[in-house]
Amino acid sequence: MAATTLRASYTIAAPILQRFNAVVPHGERSRVMENLMKQALAEREAELERTAEVYMTDPAFANCREDVKLWDVTVSDGLENL
């Protein structure tokens, strides 16, 4: 699949943006912002994975996991076609 790019508009405090523009050369700004976004995504995804791991392993959530199993059997019961 070919990589695509999108233009985006974000609101950033003027002093921060001015400092960024003064320090980061024009040709590097998009790459720097993309790297920062990747870092933010990795951090948030890691937090979600930690939360899921706790849910799947902590004994306090055993009843919830059992309830999910009960609901999982209804996924293919055909009731959505009624």
Distances (CA, A) of 54 to 40, 41, 50, 59, 62: 21, 20, 6, 9, 11
Q: Is the pLDDT of residue 31 over 80?
A: yes
What's the mean pLDDT in 20-44?
98
What is residue 75's DSSP assignment? T
Does residue 57 or residue 75 have the better pLDDT?
57
Which residue, chain included where needed, has tokens 């998009």? 30
d(CA 11, CA 80): 43
- Please report which confidence band the pLDDT of residue 1 belongs to, taking 50, 70 and 90 as the band edges: low
Three-state SS at 69: helix
Closest CA to 69 of 59, 58, 52, 56: 56
Q: Where are the domains of the chain?
A: 26-73
Q: What is the pTM of this model?
A: 0.68
